Chain A
Amino acid sequence: NAGVTQTPKFQVLKTGQSMTLQCAQDMNHEYMSWYRQDPGMGLRLIHYSVGAGITDQGEVPNGYNVSRSTTEDFPLRLLSAAPSQTSVYFCASRKDSGVILNEQFFGPGTRLTVL
């Protein structure tokens, strides 16, 4: 199993550009989520999904869109990049959406810089 994979590893954008961060998992996990990690702050939840076709907002959803057309894939779209979106983005998955103590498996992260 590859676990949770993310592409790209690094990205530099100009203000106003759009892009999609890709995330895929091969563990047949029900729950998937996107976090951002900034210096001096804990991981913050952007969006999450409890299954194919179902998504919801997390703590910091503004400026981001998600969709979940398959169990495996959960892309994150930046609509119009802003310097405040410079961050490290992590995708994560866990087996059951309703069991919060289930281990969350994190991808390796995408380092995004917006100029």
Chain B
Amino acid sequence: QKEVEQDPGPLSVPEGAIVSLNCTYSNSAFQYFMWYRQYSRKGPELLMYTYSSGNKEDGRFTAQVDKSSKYISLFIRDSQPSDSATYLCVTGTASKLTFGTGTRLQVTL
């Protein structure tokens, strides 16, 4: 069993939709949570990070962490074609990060 699980997609939504990307993890020692975005043929770039349960908002993006159920979500409001990318869920401890395989999102006009 992988330590971090993500549905690979692709997830296709129309422009303007609200997108929900989800991730589960198995190790209760994980205390840091991040979302990276990776455009095709590019390196990943950090979107958001948090280390506590609850919501964290940044513009159109909201990261949600529920440590009790080991569930992580990323919500994108008013999705744009420029949001089309693969979203990597990342979690871990102070010494090690574990990357999910990513969910590919396609936002269509």
A40 at the interface (CB under 8 A from B): yes
CB contact under 8 A between A42 and B42, given known A100-B97, A101-B32, A101-B49: no
Contact indicator per residue, chain A 69-111, by CB within 8 Å of chain B (1) or not (0): 0000000000000000000001010000000110111111100
Would you give the shortest CB distance from A104 to chain B, in whole angstroms?
Answer: 7
Chain B interface size band reads: 20 to 34
Specify the chain B residue showing the minimal Cβ separation from A35: B99
Among A4, A40, A43, A105, residue most surrounded by chain B Cβ atoms (within 10 Å): A43
**What's the count of A-B pairs with C-beta under 8 Å?**
47
Tell me the dominant secondary structure on chain B's binding face.
Answer: loop
A2 at the interface (CB under 8 A from B): no
Tell me the dominant secondary structure on chain A's binding face.
Answer: loop
Report the bound CA distance from A100 to B51 in whole Å.
11
B101 at the interface (CB under 8 A from A): yes
How many A residues, CB 8 Å from partner?
19
Cβ-defined contact, B101 with A42, below 8 A: yes
Report the bound CA distance from A71 to B102 in whole Å.
31
Cβ-defined contact, A90 with B49, below 8 A: no
Would you give the shortest CB distance from B65 to chain A, in whole angstroms?
Answer: 13
Report the bound CA distance from A101 to B49 in whole Å.
7
Complex interface: chain B residues within 8 A of A101 (CB): 32, 34, 49, 51
Complex interface: chain B residues within 8 A of A108 (CB): 41-43
Report the bound CA distance from A45 to B92 in whole Å.
13
> Apart from A41-B101, A43-B99, what are 18 other A-B pairs with CB-CB below 8 Å?
A4-B43, A42-B2, A42-B88, A43-B44, A44-B99, A45-B97, A90-B44, A100-B97, A101-B32, A101-B34, A101-B51, A103-B49, A104-B44, A104-B46, A106-B43, A106-B44, A108-B41, A109-B41
